[in-house]
Amino acid sequence: MCGICGIHGDAASQEAVDAMLEAMRRRGPDGAGQWSEPGIILGHRRLAIVDLSERGRQPMVAADGKVAITVNGEIYNYPQLRAELENEGASFASDCDSETVIHGWRAWGVESFARYNGMFAFALWDAREKALYLVRDRLGIKPLYYWREGARTIFASDAQAILAASGRKEWAISAHGLAQYLTYENRFGAATMFEGIRMLLPGHYLRVDAAGATEHAYARMAPGAPVRDFERAVDGFRAGFRAAVKRHLMSDVPIASYLSAGFDTAMVASTSAQELGGSSPATFTGTFDEGGWYDEASGAELIARRFGLPNTKVEITADSFRDAFDEMVFALEEPRMGTGALPQYLVAQKVAETHKLILTGHGGDELFSGYPVFKYALLARLLRTSPTGFLQLLTRIRLSEVPHIVYFALSGLFGHEKPFLPQLFSAREQEEAIRPDYRAGVGAPARDDAAFTPAEGGDTYRALLTQYFRDYLPGLLVVEDKISMAHGLESRTPFLDNELVSFALSIDEMVKLDGGRLKAITKEAARGTLPDELYSLPKRGFPNPLSKWLRGELADWMGERIAGPDTMLAELFDRRFLERAASTYLGSWRRHVRPLDEIATHRIWMLLCLESWLRQTRDRLGVQLIAPKSAAIPTEPKAVEAA
What are the structural domain ranges in the chain?
Answer: 2-167+197-217, 230-368+468-534
Q: Which of 507-521, 560-574, 585-599 has the lowest mean pLDDT?
A: 585-599
pLDDT exceeds cutoff 70 at 188: yes
Give the confidence band of 537 by pLDDT, cuts at 50, 70, 90: confident
User: Do 323 and 550 form a contact (C-beta atoms < 8 A)?
Assistant: no
Q: What is the pLDDT of residue 636?
A: 57
Mean pLDDT over 593-616 rounds to 91
Q: What is the pLDDT of residue 244?
A: 98
Q: What is the pLDDT of residue 445?
A: 43
Distance CA 499, CA 73 (A): 18
Asked if the peptide bond before residue 445 counts as cis, ω within 30 degrees of 0, the response is no
Please state the pTM of the whole predicted model: 0.94
Mean pLDDT over 476-490 rounds to 96
Q: What is the pLDDT of residue 149?
A: 93
Mean pLDDT over 566-595 rounds to 88
pLDDT exceeds cutoff 80 at 637: no
pLDDT digits over 94-117, tens only? Answer: 999 999 999 999 999 999 999 999
pLDDT exceeds cutoff 50 at 449: no
pLDDT exceeds cutoff 60 at 478: yes
Q: What is the DSSP string of 260-302?
A: -SSHHHHHHHHHHHHHH-TT-SEEEEEEETT-GGG--HHHHHH
pLDDT exceeds cutoff 80 at 632: no
Q: What is the pLDDT of residue 588?
A: 77
Mean pLDDT over 429-434 rounds to 92
Q: What is the pLDDT of residue 338?
A: 87
Please determine, looking at this structure, whether the domain spanning 230-368+468-534 carries the CATH number 1.10.645.10. Answer: no
Q: What is the pLDDT of residue 561?
A: 98
Distance CA 113, CA 605 (A): 38
pLDDT exceeds cutoff 80 at 446: no
Query: Across the strands, what pairs with 434?
Result: 573
Q: What is the mean pLDDT of the chain?
A: 91
User: Do 580 and 545 form a contact (C-beta atoms < 8 A)?
Assistant: no
pLDDT exceeds cutoff 80 at 463: yes
pLDDT exceeds cutoff 60 at 141: yes
In words, the CATH class of domain 2-167+197-217 is: alpha beta
Distance CA 563, CA 546 (A): 19
